[in-house]
Amino acid sequence: MKLTPTLARASSTQRLEPLRHVDAGVLDIAYYEAGPADGPVVMLMHGFPYDIHSFVDVAPMLAAQGCRTIVPYLRGYGPTRFRDQATPRSGEQAAMGADLIALMDALGVKRAVLAGYDWGGRAACVAAALWPDRCTGLVSVNGYLIQNIAGAMVPAKPQHEVPLWYQYYFQLERGRAGLAANRREIARILWQQWSPS
């Protein structure tokens, strides 16, 4: 599955339409569906900050191959809405996985290939891990995305923390703890990466 060209064209005139809506758990989920109703089901889950049009090229190809292809807007995106204003808003991984299963239940889908990237990949991974009997296959573009919440604030070796520095590492307790435990190693890595020759 090639996502990069599709993402680049997501703002083109190609659209996944018409949209359908279904009450699924705490959400009214807007989704696109193509392909035969009795075909093997593929759920395509988009990532942040994109939407269903990330799959504007992929969904028709799967449908043409006989797959019932379902592409939902995740919670917080597009016309998908919380059914009750009092429902707490959450983007935690368990909620995303539960949304996917609730959508499958609402659509009468017993089993499906779960596919996605970024947040959508996390939803697919969580659903596959917690409800393995509902998953016939898993495609997670960014790798296996279930986060170990209990260990999330425990710093790893500095060389493994480097990819986290750019976005948020030093803004979290984990970064503070990592800097306190590995000050010299972190300084050496920064010096080697950023110092003039």
Q: What is the residue-wise DSSP string for 88-129?
A: PP---HHHHHHHHHHHHHHTT---EEEEESHHHHHHHHHHHH
Q: What is the pLDDT of residue 148?
A: 77
CATH no. for residue 25?
A: 3.40.50.1820
Amino acid letter, residue 134: R
Q: What is the pLDDT of residue 13?
A: 66
Q: What is the pLDDT of residue 11?
A: 45
Q: Judge whether 81 lies within some domain.
A: yes
* Element containing residue 58 per DSSP (H, E): helix 58-64
Angle between helices 173-194 and 158-165 (to 10 degrees): 90
Name the token pair of 137: 């296959």
Provide the whole-model pTM: 0.74
Question: Strands 112-116 and 41-45: what pairing?
Answer: parallel
Regarding whether 173 and 87 lie in a shared domain, the answer is no
Q: What is the pLDDT of residue 190?
A: 80
Query: pLDDT truncated to tens, each residue of the chain (197 aa)?
Result: 333 334 434 445 689 999 999 999 999 999 999 999 999 999 999 998 899 999 999 999 999 999 999 999 999 999 999 999 999 898 888 999 999 999 999 999 999 999 999 899 999 999 999 999 999 999 998 767 787 778 877 888 878 877 766 556 777 788 888 889 999 998 888 888 877 77
Q: What is the pLDDT of residue 166?
A: 55
- What is the C-alpha to C-alpha distance for residues 158 and 83, in angstroms, rounded to an integer? 44
Regarding whether 162 and 109 lie in a shared domain, the answer is no
Range of the domain at 169: 158-194
Q: What is the pLDDT of residue 170?
A: 74
Regarding whether 187 and 106 lie in a shared domain, the answer is no
Q: What is the pLDDT of residue 75?
A: 94
Determine contact, residues 66/40, Cβ cutoff 8 Å: yes
